[in-house]
Structure 1
Amino acid sequence: MEVKLLPLQFVLLVTSLVLLLVASDTISNGSTAKSNNTSKNEACPSGWVIGPNKTKCFGYNDSFQSWDESESHCKQYHGHLAALTSFEELRFAQVLCGQIVNGCWVGGRVSNFNVSFGWKWSDNTSLWNESILGLPTINASVDLCTLVKNESATLGSERCNASHAFLCMVDIEDKCYYMHCHKEYLIILAVVSGLVLCTTFAVVVWLLAYKRSKRRRRSRKLSNPAASALVPPSWKIFTCDELRSITKNFSEGNRLLGDAKTGGTYSGLLPDGSKVAVKRLKRSNFQRKKEFYSEIGRVAKLHHPNLVAVKGCCYDHGDRYIVYEFIANGPLDRWLYHIPRGGRSLDWAMRIKIATTLAQGIAFLHDKVKPHVVHRDIRASNVLLDEEFGAHLMGVGLSKIVPWEVMHERTVMAGGTYGYLAPEFVYRNELTTKSDVYSFGVLLLEIVSGRRPAQQVDSVGWQSIFEWATPLVQAHRYPELLDPLISSSTSDVPEAGDIQKVVDLVYACTQNVPSMRPRMSHVVHQLQQFAQPPVTK
């Protein structure tokens, strides 16, 4: 994979290198300065002096404190009370202590050993030299600490809770004293932290840029269908001449019956002998070829037995065409209202099968496609029936290609009713999968009753299907909800209880509150149970 260095990454890299060079120079200068300071006897904290052996710094403090308090004060400098291991250091300490009559605390203290008590320096490393210091061995637990006095040639001792001035000691090699610990280490820490932050930021920027570039490549791939590796069966970009040839120049003899508000649909015969349906959309001056192909490419990838498959498309100077698979028995509304010649009316079992297979196709769009797809235009004219009267939903994705006003103009004009449209979509422009559930509920009642979502009635003018059905439901007159073509049949007339179950599902799907409507997968389950024959005992 080729990785391009972004300008921001380059700047961050250069900045990091500069910081590293500056830090190195600072550390080098700091080390040189430290060496010079040591040579000038300035390696000790301010006010302290170097001891006789040049390895320790001593500091005198004239504040009178107990031995423990004095030791705590010395630890602030990462040191201890003075440990005296030679006559030179003893005399040096006496000079520092000066003319203090009571003496100064140093670091010796009685300590409890395994078998006896003895003296020990507080730094736990310096050796106790009894011949030099002149303090006897202690055989009992006595809290005594050591003093250095100017008039005495040896150390003295006193109870540790007494108050005296004191002498502190710190090793010159221990460069940490009183908030001055290793400036060079702090610089290194700051530089390393800066490098880590810069590197992390550069990686994040690179990942974001890479993902953005990847999305652009994917978008270009979708916008160029010929280069896309689509899920088989693949779809094709037709030329306008090819479509004229297979539809006999869009002749009226090839025109399929159905809702032609979006431009009309024509049957066609491909060179391989397979039949297709060519849907001609109304001319658009707003949608470009790239956008049209991209949307068709997405829809063509959706494959389900109850969705009408997209075979291809064509874009010719604003004229747009979609090529679908041919479904033999045509749209559902023709079988509900204009039974084809030689056909028969849909009985109860066929209608339940149509509703069930249609619900399966919608459930696929809602639950199996990620992100989920909202159809937005579920209606009888968009449901095609195959030879076995299984339902195939067409028009998936068409709502993004055809303007909303064109798709729904007839429904809105029908006496002010909105037919299949969910109320939250009509009044608040809210669109979710539950909007499709509402549309399916309206269509299910239409399938059962054989009545359009809105139709003219002599006494009241335009009447919605629910204005007609609700009084019958409230009066429990369920058989009167059936399509008269079913009621007049000599067989396969459902019982009132079976009709009630379907009608209850209709009203569940058309609740005014979207969250109260069931998922389409639940609707499929309910319809499959309705289709099962009753168990005889």
Structure 2
Amino acid sequence: MAGTISGFTFSRLFKPILAAVMCGGKDKGPAIFSPLIKKKEDLAFLKNKERITSLEKIREGSLGEVYKAELPGSNGKMISIKKIIQPHMSTAELTQQDSKTLNKKMHQIRSEINIVGHIRHPNLLPLLAHVPRPDCHYLVYEFMKNGSLQDRFGNVKQGTQELDWLARVKIAQGVASGLEYLHMNQNPRIIHRNLMPANILLDDDMEARIADFGLAKAMPDAHTHMTSSNIVGTVGYIAPEFHQTLKFTDKCDIYSFGVVLAVLVTGKLPSDEFFQNGNEIGLVKWLRSVTNSENPRQAIDSKLIGNGFEEQMLLVLKVAYFCTLDNPKERPNSKDVRCMLSQIKH
């Protein structure tokens, strides 16, 4: 099947890499997953601490810093490098919190390698390489010039950038396509578990790339859900049933995507002051109220009003409504969502 590799091939390619991760970052050399990187020597600069500190830091994540660099010998190809630092202390010296943090970091590395290292889709951010070092791990990706969807909305609010409706619906369709690939075209299915605007990156052509698979899980078809003892995801995007059951399904991803669709149409994020001042009831409940009102157009981002695409926006708002229904069984699956959104023609 296209997009997958056999269990035997996967075992040969990836078990040594996962073993390297489990060994705490011993320097076994880089593992390359993409032909964009011609040879391992192209990543030798990651051994030079002075070179690393001179790179442009573009983001500070919960598990490490992200840098921007030019890939040597690539005629200007830019890459982003996620640096995940691990504690220097021995296992015996680790506190419970240190151990929890270390486990979280190692889980993220394993998830990225296991999942993103071997799948390819135009709407997923590919992992190009993994470089283990004695004190850290480097995960290398294509650089997305237009940043994240969350960054773009922040700039739109400040008036420094625009995001018209055609760009927004293109992003929605791209994310839906990537989500369908993860849920329907992979065996076992892949559940992202943290879909939100900050994890949707935009390439040079404003195509959406789903990123950050550190919380992702592969779920065999025989299983209907995964149980987690820890809260995963981001407040405002987590399906309500997860809080009650701690069980995560593909329909939880659909709920998160429904929130993203609502953000694209309304221009409002769940974290906006509009939903924090005590008068409003959260993005999803507000969306339901407005969608069922006599004037659902009041939910549309004021920056989009008058451009002639209001009917399309209301259709996407309706899809968002169905995706965020309380009962997960009533939500559409990712294929249904992609098909509904594909009806919107530019």
Q: Is the pair's TM-score, using the shorter chain for normalization, greater than 0.5?
A: yes
Q: Distance in 2 between matches of 1:261 and 1:443?
A: 21
Q: Distance in 1 between matches of 2:301 and 2:213?
A: 29
Structure 1 residue 508 corresponds to structure 2 residue 326: no
Q: Match of 2:167, as an amino acid? A: M
Q: Match of 1:472, as an amino acid? A: V
Q: Deviations over 1:16-56 (max 9, x none)?
A: xxxxxxxxxxxxxxxxxxxxxxxxxxxxxxxxxxxxxxxxx
Counterpart in 2 of 1:193?
Answer: none
Aligned sequence identity (%): 27
Counterpart in 1 of 2:335?
Answer: 521
Change (3 A) 1:340 1:267: farther
Q: What are the residue-to-residue correspondences of 1:164-179 with 2, within 5 Å?
A: none
Q: Distance in 2 between matches of 1:368 and 1:528?
A: 18
Counterpart in 1 of 2:63?
Answer: 262
Q: What are the residue-to-residue correspondences of 1:136-215 with 2, within 5 Å?
A: none
Q: Distance in 2 between matches of 1:313 and 1:349?
A: 36
Q: Distance in 1 between matches of 2:199 and 2:212?
A: 6
Q: Is the 8 A contact 1:383 1:391 kept in 2?
A: yes
Q: Distance in 1 between matches of 2:320 and 2:281?
A: 18
Counterpart in 2 of 1:422?
Answer: 239
SS of the residue corresponding to residue 286 of structure 1 reads helix
Structure 1 residue 280 corresponds to structure 2 residue 83: yes
Shift of 1:247: 9.3
SS of the residue corresponding to residue 454 of structure 1 reads coil
Q: Match of 1:256, as an amino acid? A: I
Change (3 A) 1:281 1:218: closer
Structure 1 residue 498 corresponds to structure 2 residue 312: yes
Q: Distance in 1 between matches of 2:19 and 2:36?
A: 14
RMSD: 3.9
Q: Distance in 2 between matches of 1:341 and 1:263?
A: 27
Counterpart in 1 of 2:203?
Answer: 386
Q: Deviations over 1:65-113 (max 9, x none)?
A: xxxxxxxxxxxxxxxxxxxxxxxxxxxxxxxxxxxxxxxxxxxxxxxxx
Shift of 1:274: 2.0
Unmatched runs of 5 consecutive residues or more in structure 2: 1-7, 21-27, 87-100, 218-227
Q: Distance in 2 between matches of 1:228 and 1:249?
A: 16
Change (3 A) 1:422 1:340: closer
Unmatched runs of 5 consecutive residues or more in structure 1: 1-212, 412-417
Q: Deviations over 1:361-419 (max 9, x none)?
A: 1111111111110000101011111122110111124446xx996965xx4xxxxxx31
Q: What are the residue-to-residue correspondences of 1:479-490 with 2, within 5 Å?
A: 479-487=297-305
Change (3 A) 1:270 1:494: same
Aligned length in residues: 305
Shift of 1:279: 1.7
Structure 1 residue 242 corresponds to structure 2 residue 59: no
Q: Deviations over 1:279-320 (max 9, x none)?
A: 233635337979946851442101001111101123334533
Q: Deviations over 1:248-290 (max 9, x none)?
A: 4245x71225x73332321111212421111233635337979
Q: Is the 8 A contact 2:32 2:40 kept in 1?
A: no
Q: Match of 2:307, as an amino acid? A: D
Q: Distance in 1 between matches of 2:67 and 2:103?
A: 24
Q: Distance in 1 between matches of 2:278 and 2:30?
A: 55
SS of the residue corresponding to residue 325 of structure 2 reads coil
Q: Is the 8 A contact 1:247 1:267 kept in 2?
A: no
Change (3 A) 1:442 1:288: closer
Q: Match of 1:345, as an amino acid? A: E
Q: Match of 1:505, as an amino acid? A: V
Q: Match of 1:223, as an amino acid? A: L
Change (3 A) 1:528 1:291: closer
Q: Is the 8 A contact 2:196 2:260 kept in 1?
A: yes
Q: Distance in 1 between matches of 2:58 and 2:110?
A: 24
Q: Distance in 2 between matches of 1:455 and 1:214?
A: 46
Q: Distance in 1 between matches of 2:139 and 2:231?
A: 17
Q: Distance in 2 between matches of 1:217 and 1:243?
A: 26
Q: Match of 1:305, as an amino acid? A: P
Structure 1 residue 471 corresponds to structure 2 residue 289: yes
Q: Is the 8 A contact 1:223 1:290 kept in 2?
A: no
Change (3 A) 1:249 1:397: closer
Q: Match of 1:274, as an amino acid? A: K
Q: Match of 2:58, as an amino acid? A: L
Change (3 A) 1:216 1:323: closer
Q: What are the residue-to-residue correspondences of 1:284-433 with 2, within 5 Å?
A: 284-286=101-103, 292=109, 296-317=113-134, 319-339=136-156, 344-399=161-216, 408=233, 411=234, 418-433=235-250
SS of the residue corresponding to residue 322 of structure 1 reads strand
Q: Distance in 1 between matches of 2:320 and 2:159?
A: 31
The structure with more radius of gyration: 1
Change (3 A) 1:293 1:503: closer
SS of the residue corresponding to residue 256 of structure 1 reads strand
Q: Which has the higher contact order (CA 8 A, sep 6+)?
A: 2
Q: Distance in 1 between matches of 2:48 and 2:278?
A: 49
Counterpart in 1 of 2:18?
Answer: 223
Q: Distance in 1 between matches of 2:280 and 2:241?
A: 22
Q: Distance in 2 between matches of 1:295 and 1:230?
A: 13
Which shifted more, 510-519 or 349-358? Answer: 510-519
TM, length-normalised to structure 2: 0.74
Q: Is the 8 A contact 1:310 1:323 kept in 2?
A: yes
Q: What are the residue-to-residue correspondences of 1:94-173 with 2, within 5 Å?
A: none
TM, length-normalised to structure 1: 0.49
